[in-house]
Structure formats: C-alpha cells, structure tokens
Amino acid sequence: MSRIAVCAPHFTRVPQLRDELLAVYPDADFNDGLRDLAGDDLIAFLRGHDRAVAGTELFTDAVFEAVPELRLVAKIGVGLDSLDLDAMIRRGVLLGWTPGVNKRSVAELTLAYILTALRKAQVVNHEMRGGVWRRQIGHTLTGKTVGIVGCGQIGQEVVELLAPFRCRLLVHDVRAYPEFYAAHDIAAVALDALLAEADVVTLHLPLNASSRNLIGARELGLMKPEAVLVNLARGGIVDEAALKEVLLRQAIAGAAFDVFALEPWPDRELLALPNLWASTHIGASTHEAILDMGRAVIRNLADARIPDPSWIPDWR
C-alpha cells in the first residue's frame, strides 16, 4: 500500500480535496501546519512515504538523498522550478504533472493586471489612500500592441482573452506554434523587437537557469516610456533591482507583478512604489483552479513518469 505525504498547504486546507484523496489513499498524511515545509522539517514529514504531493516546497537532491523511499512526486500547479529535475532523473523518481491545469485562472488575472496597469489604477489607488483625489489619464487596451513572452498553455489562453480588444499580437518563444500563430494573426519576433514595440509586455514562461533575469536592465531599457510590464509567471525572470530603478525613474509607465524572486518579497521600497501593482502569487488562487489542480494531483499519483529535460526549454 502506497503512503502519501501531502506537503502542499493549499491542498491540505480544502476539505473536498482531502476527502477525494482519502477515498483513494486512506492512509495519506497531511501537512496540517498550513505552512510550507523546508529542509529538515520537509525531510522529517516525507520519511516513510513513497509518494508526495508537492506545492512550492523545495525538493532538492539533498531531500531525495535523505528520503530514498520517495519514488514519486505529484506537483500541484504548473511550475517545476521548486523541483530538482536532474536529481529526479538520476535517482529514477517519477513526476506527476499536468501542464496548463490552472491556465484560465492565471490568464484572467493577467488580463485584469494589464487593464490595471494601462489605466494607472494602481497609481490612483495609492494616491487615494494618501488623501490625494486626482484623475490619472491612462490608455485603453483596444488596438494596442501586446507582446507575449512565452506562448505555451497560459500564453495561448491570454491570446484568446485578448480577442475582443483587437490588439496587435507579438510573441517571443523558443518553441514555435505556427498553426496557433496563423489562426490568431500573431507575429513571432525576437525578444528585443518585442520589448521595443509592445505597449504591454506580459510574461508566461517557466523559470530555470536559462530564463533567470531574462528581463534585466538592458531589456527594460528597450521598452517604450508608455509601456507596462506584467509578470504572472515566476519571480526571478525579471531582475527586480533593475525593475525598481526603472520604476523610480518612471522610465516605463508601470508594472503589475504577482510573483517575486523571494516570497515574501523583502524590498518594501519596491512594493511601496505607486507605479507597481503587486500581489502575493495569487494567479492560481481561485476555488475552481485549486479544485482542478488538486484533482489532477490525485490522478497523477497513479500516472507519472521520469521527468524529461525538454519540458523546460533553454531560453538563451
């Protein structure tokens, strides 16, 4: 009989998911501390279990070394940057993963953040809280040029939601989706060209060594002064120190970020800037997405395979 360790607090706190998992795996153990486990605490919780449900916990080579009985990890959500895939491949640990399971939730929030940044709603909100009543003049989304960096499952969902706005669409991706591009009148361009031409730049790519700080000071310097940058992908893709400097100079119109390199993000000066709309990694935090992700995890506990390095491509 398999023993399941449910590490992810956002799975554990949903009674419906607990009941559905226990119906299949009655001996499952839950992280009822409702906090992310790390290091020795994670190892202690995993010991004696051959399968685990992982959220944002760091499953490093040291964790797999310390818990050799762990033979399968089912990942809730779509980001794999918290898992040492090389170690899993080397040790023969299976991965259960459903790409795109939360794509609608993330895409809807992306659209909301694009509109928020273009209309300078974050600036207005900041000023109102400080006692200033002033109408900021922003931009409509209709007819604008939107640059999408990463056009996989979430990027494509964003394209679908943008349809009523009749935007000009640019895409940069290391993978090609020619049929999708043709069907939606999308131009595939180099990253520098996208940054220089887009009124909105929105990021939808995975984080790995090749995409870390992909958007740095040089790349931010290519953006138009009236452009906005939206990141609901992963913290670390944008150099946040460079972003802070750009926002302080008002070299771009604004940014909307749901993710940061460190979470919680410690730089309160950045978070206090009026031209930054920031949130606490809530892209997939809807009741519907959490149920979809949790049910995918339950299925993946019985349907997993050795990770394939090609799942996370090289972005350089």
All structural domains of the chain:
4-101+285-311 (3.40.50.720), 103-278 (3.40.50.720)
State the Cα–Cα distance between residues 259 and 183, nearest whole angstrom.
31
Percent of the chain with pLDDT over 90: 92
Which residues are catalytic, by number?
Answer: 234, 263, 281
pLDDT of residue 10: 86
Has residue 94 got a pLDDT over 60?
Answer: yes
CA dihedral over 257, 258, 260, 265, signed as positive or negative: positive
Is residue 162 within 8 A of residue 143, CB to CB? The reply is no
**Do the Cβ atoms of 242 and 217 come closer than 8 Å?**
yes
Q: pLDDT per residue over 248-303, tens digit each?
A: 999 999 999 999 999 998 999 999 999 999 999 999 999 999 999 999 999 999 99
- Residues 296 and 194: their CA atoms lie apart, in Å, by 35
Instruction: Give 171-190 pLDDT, tens digit per residue.
Output: 999 999 999 999 999 999 99
pLDDT per position as a tens digit, 22-67: 999 999 999 998 788 999 999 999 999 999 999 999 999 999 999 9
pLDDT at 15 > cutoff 80: yes
* Band (219; pLDDT cuts 50, 70, 90): very high
**Distance (Å, whole) CA 99 – CA 152:** 9
Asked if the model's pLDDT at residue 316 lies above 80, the reply is no
- Among 70, 87, 131, 126, which residue's Cα sits nearest to residue 274? 126
What is the pLDDT at residue 1?
56
Cβ neighbourhood burial of 243 (10 Å; 0-12, 13-18, 19+): buried
**Residue 183: exposed, middle, or buried by beta-carbon count in 10 A (0-12, 13-18, 19+)?**
exposed
Query: What is the rounded average pLDDT of the residues 185-209?
Result: 97
**What pLDDT score was predicted for residue 201?**
98
